[in-house]
Amino acid sequence: MKSSVGWFGALFLCAIVVVLCVQFVDRPVALFVNAHLAAKNSLAMPLGLVLLFVPLGAVAVLGCGCAVLAGRSLPRSAEATMLAGFSVTWALACNFFLLQPAFGRIDIRDYLAQPNLYGFTPFHGHSGRGFPSGHTAIAASFLLVFWFFYPRARILIGAVIGAVMIGLVLATSHFVSDVVGGLFVGATAARMTIVLFRDNKSLTTRSP
């Protein structure tokens, strides 16, 4: 119950932040960065490395599944990477195939080319639209699993996710509200993966 109340509270807070950003932050930040940051295009390649979390997670799930079927126990690091793979997979699916088409946000580059294009076209979007940010959702859903497994690394994990979010804004790939939404999607995926795993951990010790 406490977890569900906390999640709905976080959702409400996220919605308020997103609305405020859409109204007061997104456009001035996007216009300022586009006009004053000449090196924004150089950020595309390092930010693209975030997408490697998807195949890494898939390989981890496959490898750990084979190990468990062979009767081997998983070390903590492998267990964390496997769960990160589950987390990023369903975060990616929900974000690209449900949320982005449902919100239908006008892409930031379309806005920069034609400033009169701004806002949302609900249920008229498609995969790859700006809100929520897919790169942020991928990074957060994968890395926040390690946040729960390795509390001592939380500062580093938070810094990496923050760097991805800032980088996406500075590269004019996303509005500020996009990365806020992506962070919530990724955090939700990671948290629910951990909760589901803890509640059903005994299943991993049973024979089929």
Give 3-state DSSP helix, strand, coil % of the chain, rounded to 5: 80, 0, 20
Q: What is the pLDDT of residue 129?
A: 77
Paired residues of 105 in beta bridges: 120
Q: What is the pLDDT of residue 204?
A: 45
* The pLDDT of residue 5 is above 80: yes
Query: Are residues 168 and 200 in contact, defined by beta-carbon separation less than 8 angstroms?
Result: no
Query: Are residues 105 and 125 in contact, defined by beta-carbon separation less than 8 angstroms?
Result: yes
Confidence of residue 200 (pLDDT cuts 50, 70, 90): low
* The pLDDT of residue 180 is above 50: yes
* The pLDDT of residue 206 is above 50: no
The answer for 122, left when phi > 0, alpha when psi is -120 to 50, beta otherwise, is beta
The closest of 190, 184, 199, 196 to 146, measured between CA atoms, is 190
pLDDT digit string (tens) for 122-162? 988 777 778 999 999 999 999 999 999 999 999 999 999 99
* Exposure on the CB side of residue 24, measured as CA atoms within 13 A: 5
Q: What is the pLDDT of residue 57?
A: 96
Q: What is the DSSP string of 151-206?
A: GGGHHHHHHHHHHHHHHHHHTTSS-HHHHHHHHHHHHHHHHHHHHHHHHTGGGGGS
* Secondary element (H or E) of residue 122: none
Q: Among 37-41, 132-136, 201-205, name the one with the lowest average pLDDT.
A: 201-205
pLDDT digit string (tens) for 73-95? 999 999 999 999 999 999 999 99
SS3 21: helix
